[in-house]
């Protein structure tokens, strides 16, 4: 062997040895999958839905005249029904959704995303050993997109939890789930960022990763290298519907707090400050006498809210809340939300270029419709038993219709009890079950109290005048 050939052989051997050493330095997830993979479950749901004829007229539009006899008459009756009658719903179909979850208690408690099981009539859980069990929904929280399920079983494999404050950007993480229905698929990556605020969820400081997450992964666990669950895979950012390198997980400490509250009282309460905030730009920081942009700028203080009672003013920049530094406006909602209701908390603000310390008593975050009214926006309700959307009337609309203090405007009516009663888009709903409807929040309260399988009177205002209609809710 010539000397150059010998040198080349040694060089190739050295490269091979270095590559082998580098490969050994990469994390090995096989043990984690073996130990904790069995605690990950596949979740499918069934939802009963009414199927209607292919052709439907817009709400309130009268059925056109059509020939009674002959093939054309048969065709119109097939799609639209008889004149003056609503088309009958056809066969009921099952709508299925698919997601993931994981067992947090050997007695059968399972954690998943709320959007995986929302609206389900039946929830099926498939375990790693191929068993299928029917799960009961113990409770759910829309704001954090978490749901707690329970199956009747014992001795189930469980996960262990990590600590949210020990998560570091750049550390290796692993997800297990059922993307596109492929059970127990494993994908790995690193933590890309912490404390991400998304437009849809201001109370959750998301963990951003580059782990491949696709439809069906929702509700599955995000593990660290110690086999601890540090997050619940929830959302992706995508322009195609598939994974594009940005996925978001709910931090474990947020999830455990939600689970504890659901088990303890059946619902989740959050702290509320009662302000509308925005980011501090470089120009705004200079105008407020601040050395750099930081904190949450108070753009509005809601009347009678905790902030108003504590003396917080419009133009204040909140830089610390409860001992935690507020670097940007997105930092404030999660910190306030996790503050115990009824506690006195120290708040540091920048006012007129000077630091001031205030004490605020944290109150419970109101319901969505109550919060909307507190913010001075017209309320809106679309998720209700009547299958219609209503909104609060503006001052101009009340003046035009000659109404003083009550009534809500019907914006949309879908197939359901409201449409069957004859309620139309543009109606102003004045009374529900003989009670004056004040606003959307009041409407929601009255609607929840309506009896099933019993006709109740509804008074609506139309251009032609007021009219009573009979509304009947199914069982």
343-391 pLDDT, tens digit each: 999 999 998 888 999 999 999 888 765 565 555 556 555 556 788 888 8
Check residue 55 and give its pLDDT: 47
Domain-located, residue 72: no
What 3-state DSSP class applies to 5?
helix
Q: How far is CA 108 from CA 39, 60, 251, in A?
A: 11, 49, 22
Same domain, 313 and 406: no
> For the residues 419-445, what does the mean pLDDT come to?
87
* Range with the poorest average pLDDT among 62-71, 144-153, 190-199, 460-469: 62-71
> For the residues 217-243, what does the mean pLDDT come to?
88
Q: In CATH, what number is assigned to the domain containing residue 187?
A: 2.40.10.10
Domain-located, residue 116: no
Domain-located, residue 12: no
Same domain, 295 and 281: yes
User: 366-377 in b/e burial notation, b at 16+ Cβ within 10 A?
Assistant: bebbebbbeeee
Taking the model in full, what pTM does it have?
0.69
Calpha distance 329→315 (Å, rounded): 13
> For the residues 169-182, what does the mean pLDDT come to?
92
Domain-located, residue 36: no
User: Residue 54 above 50 pLDDT?
Assistant: no
Check residue 237 and give its pLDDT: 81
Residue pair 390/409 in contact by the 8 Å Cβ criterion: yes
Same domain, 261 and 275: no
How many domains does the structure of the chain reveal? 3
Domain-located, residue 40: no
> For the residues 119-130, what does the mean pLDDT come to?
90
Q: What is the 3-state secondary structure (H, E, C) of the chain?
A: CCHHHHHHHHHHHHHHHHHHHHHHHCCCCHHHHHHHHHHEEEEEEEEEEECCCCCCCCCCCCCCCCCCCHHHHHHHHHHHCCCCCCCCCCCEEEEEEEEEEEECCCCCEEEECHHHHCCCCEEEEECCCCCEEEEEEEEEECCCCEEEEECCCCCCCCCEECCHHHCCCCCEEEEEECHHHCCCEEEEEEEEEEEEEECCEEEEEEEEECCCCCCCCCCCEEECCCCEEEEEEEEECCCCCCCCCCEEEEEHHHHHHHHHHHHHHCCCCCEECCEEEEECCHHHHHHCCCCCCCCEEEEEECCCCHHHHHCCCCCCEEEEECCEECCCHHHHHHHHHCCCCCCEEEEEEEECCEEEEEEEECEECCCHHHHHHHCCCCCEECCCCCCEEEEECCHHHHHHHCCCCCCEEEEEECCCHHHHHCCCCCCEEEEECCEECCCHHHHHHHHHCCCCCCEEEEEEEECCEEEEEEEECCC
Percent of the chain with pLDDT over 70: 80
Which member of 97, 218, 329, 339 is catalytic? 218
140-170 pLDDT, tens digit each: 998 899 999 999 998 999 999 999 889 999 9
Same domain, 284 and 319: yes
Residue pair 152/188 in contact by the 8 Å Cβ criterion: no
Q: Is 352 a catalytic residue?
A: no
Q: Where does 221-288 show beta strands of DSSP type E?
A: 221-223, 228-236, 247-251, 271-272, 275-279
Domain-located, residue 23: no
308-317 pLDDT, tens digit each: 999 998 888 9
Which of 116, 186, 174 minimizes the C-alpha distance to 125? 116
- The label of the residue with tokens 């069906």 reads 216
> For the residues 57-66, what does the mean pLDDT come to?
49
Same domain, 218 and 237: yes
User: Residue 59 above 50 pLDDT?
Assistant: no
Check residue 249 and give its pLDDT: 94
* Range with the poorest average pLDDT among 25-29, 137-141, 172-176: 25-29
The answer for residues whose C-beta is within 8 angstroms of residue 243's C-beta and 6 or more apart is 212, 213, 214, 236
User: Residue 80 above 70 pLDDT?
Assistant: no
Same domain, 283 and 215: no
Check residue 51 and give its pLDDT: 52
Residue pair 243/277 in contact by the 8 Å Cβ criterion: no
Same domain, 254 and 317: no
Same domain, 168 and 259: yes
Range of the domain at 200: 160-265
Which member of 145, 253, 257, 392 is catalytic? 145
Check residue 58 and give its pLDDT: 47
Same domain, 260 and 275: no
Check residue 53 and give its pLDDT: 46
Which member of 44, 115, 185, 257 is catalytic? 115
Same domain, 256 and 276: no
Last residue of a domain, one of 303, 338, 364: 364
Q: How far is CA 252 from CA 159, 256, 258, 356, in A?
A: 12, 6, 10, 34
Same domain, 360 and 310: yes
Residue pair 433/445 in contact by the 8 Å Cβ criterion: no
Confidence grade of residue 448 (pLDDT, cut at 50, 70, 90): confident
- The label of the residue with tokens 């994908």 reads 187
Check residue 100 and give its pLDDT: 94
User: Residue 61 above 90 pLDDT?
Assistant: no
Assigned token pair, 338: 């996790």
Calpha distance 139→110 (Å, rounded): 11
Q: Is 427 a catalytic residue?
A: no
Last residue of a domain, one of 364, 393, 418: 364
User: Residue 296 above 50 pLDDT?
Assistant: yes
Same domain, 315 and 395: no
Domain-located, residue 171: yes
Mean pLDDT for the chain? 82
Domain-located, residue 70: no
Check residue 281 and give its pLDDT: 84
Higher-scoring residue by pLDDT: 3, 144: 144
Q: Is 145 a catalytic residue?
A: yes
Higher-scoring residue by pLDDT: 445, 335: 335
Percent of the chain with pLDDT over 90: 36
> For the residues 118-134, what does the mean pLDDT come to?
90
* Range with the poorest average pLDDT among 31-35, 134-138, 237-241, 328-332: 237-241
Last residue of a domain, one of 340, 364, 388: 364
Confidence grade of residue 10 (pLDDT, cut at 50, 70, 90): low
Q: In CATH, what number is assigned to the domain containing residue 284?
A: 2.30.42.10
Calpha distance 202→446 (Å, rounded): 29
């Amino acid at each position: 062997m010539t000397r150059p050939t010998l040198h080349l052989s040694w060089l190739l051997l050295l490269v091979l040895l270095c590559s082998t050493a580098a490969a050994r330095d990469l994390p090995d997830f096989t043990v984690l999958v073996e130990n904790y993979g069995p605690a990950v479950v596949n979740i499918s749901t069934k939802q009963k839905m009414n199927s209607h004829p292919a052709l439907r007229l817009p709400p309130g539009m009268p059925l056109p005249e059509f020939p009674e006899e002959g093939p054309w008459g048969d065709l119109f009756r097939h799609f639209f029904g008889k004149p003056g009658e609503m088309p009958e719903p056809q066969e009921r179909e099952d709508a299925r959704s698919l997601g993931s979850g994981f067992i947090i208690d050997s007695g059968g408690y399972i954690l998943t995303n709320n959007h995986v099981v929302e609206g389900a009539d039946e929830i099926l859980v498939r375990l790693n050993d191929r068993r299928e069990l029917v799960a009961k929904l113990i409770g759910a929280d829309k704001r954090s997109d978490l749901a707690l399920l329970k199956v009747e079983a014992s001795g189930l494999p469980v996960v262990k939890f990590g600590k949210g404050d020990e998560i570091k950007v750049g550390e290796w993480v692993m997800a297990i789930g059922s993307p596109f229905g492929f059970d127990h698929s494993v994908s790995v990556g690193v933590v890309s960022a912490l404390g991400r605020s998304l437009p849809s969820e201001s109370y959750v400081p998301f963990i951003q990763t580059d782990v491949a997450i696709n439809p069906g992964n929702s509700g599955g666990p995000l593990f660290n290298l110690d086999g601890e669950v540090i997050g619940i895979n929830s959302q992706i950012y995508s322009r195609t519907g598939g994974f594009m390198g940005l996925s978001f997980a709910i931090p474990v400490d947020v999830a455990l707090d939600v689970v504890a509250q659901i088990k303890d009282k059946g619902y989740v309460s959050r702290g509320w400050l009662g302000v509308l905030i925005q980011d501090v730009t470089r120009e705004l920081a200079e105008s407020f006498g601040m050395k750099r942009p930081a904190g949450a700028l108070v753009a509005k203080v809601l009347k009678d809210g905790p902030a108003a009672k504590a003396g917080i003013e419009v133009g204040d920049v909140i830089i610390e809340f409860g001992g935690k530094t507020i670097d940007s406006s997105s930092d404030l909602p999660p910190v306030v939300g996790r503050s115990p209701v009824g506690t006195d908390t120290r708040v540091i603000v920048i006012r007129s270029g000077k630091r001031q310390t205030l004490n605020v008593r944290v109150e419970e975050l109101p319901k969505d419709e109550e919060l909307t009214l507190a913010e001075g926006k017209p309320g809106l309700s679309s998720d209700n038993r009547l299958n219609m959307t209503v909104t609060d009337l503006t001052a101009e609309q009340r003046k035009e219709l000659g109404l003083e203090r009550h009534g809500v405007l019907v914006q949309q009516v879908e197939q359901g009890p409201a449409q069957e009663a004859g309620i139309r888009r543009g109606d102003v709903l004045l009374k529900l079950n003989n009670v004056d409807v004040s606003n959307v929040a009041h409407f929601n309260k009255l609607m929840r109290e309506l009896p099933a399988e019993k006709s109740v009177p509804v008074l609506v205002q139309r251009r032609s005048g007021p009219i009573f209609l009979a509304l009947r809710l199914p069982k």
